[in-house]
């Protein structure tokens, strides 16, 4: 199935990381969520009831970044993915979390992680 709804580059402030300073000072996180589902009914009906309401996916991502605290972005991305899969009528979800301000020597655009979860 090639249909998907994409939320790209949502930006939230969170307090995640393995360093104490990251958890105390916080930083910006960028999140992408791709909802994989058959959109043929929604295309035919033009009715929100026939698709996945992506505002819920946005709310889940915001809540996980802003209201929870994890050491690893892997856990953050996995938590977003699992909640989206549990709460929306989709076949699969891909979540990307980027941390644009990484404390490493040299030039680095961001560090990030991508997780994909599917229904069994």
Q: What CATH number corresponds to the domain at position 35?
A: 3.30.1130.10
pLDDT digits (tens, 9 = 90+) for 50-103: 999 999 999 999 999 999 999 999 999 999 999 999 999 999 999 999 999 887
Residue 103 is predicted with a pLDDT of: 79
pLDDT digits (tens, 9 = 90+) for 20-64: 999 999 999 999 999 999 999 999 999 999 999 999 999 999 999
Residue 105 pLDDT level (bands cut at 50, 70, 90): confident
Measuring CA to CA, how many Å separate 76 from each of 39, 44, 57, 59, 107? 28, 35, 14, 14, 24
Measuring CA to CA, how many Å separate 17 from each of 68, 69, 88, 102? 12, 8, 28, 10
Give the residue-averaged pLDDT of 91-120. 92
Residue 3 is predicted with a pLDDT of: 97
- Residue 52 and residue 119 in contact, taking contact as beta carbons nearer than 8 Å: no
Res 1 pLDDT > 70: no
Residues marked as catalytic: 99
Question: What are the two backbone dihedrals, phi and then psi, of residue 46, each rounded to the nearest 5 degrees?
Answer: 60, 40
Res 106 pLDDT > 80: yes
What's the predicted TM-score (pTM) here?
Answer: 0.94
- Number of domain units in the chain: 1
Domain enclosing residue 79, as ranges:
4-118
- Residue 34 and residue 5 in contact, taking contact as beta carbons nearer than 8 Å: yes
What is the four-CA torsion angle of 82, 15, 98, 38, rounded to 10 degrees? 30
């Amino acid at each position: 199935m090639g249909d998907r709804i994409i939320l790209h580059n949502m930006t939230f402030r969170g307090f995640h990381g393995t360093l104490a300073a990251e958890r105390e000072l916080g930083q910006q996180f960028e999140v992408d969520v791709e909802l994989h589902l058959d959109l043929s009914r929604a295309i035919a009906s033009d009715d929100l009831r026939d698709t996945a309401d992506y505002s819920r996916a946005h709310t889940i991502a915001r809540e996980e970044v802003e209201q929870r605290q994890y050491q690893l972005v892997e856990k953050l991305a996995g938590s977003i993915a699992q909640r989206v899969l549990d709460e929306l009528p989709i076949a699969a979800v891909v979540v990307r979390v980027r941390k644009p301000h990484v404390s490493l020597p040299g030039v680095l655009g961001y560090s990030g992680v991508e997780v994909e979860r599917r229904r069994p």
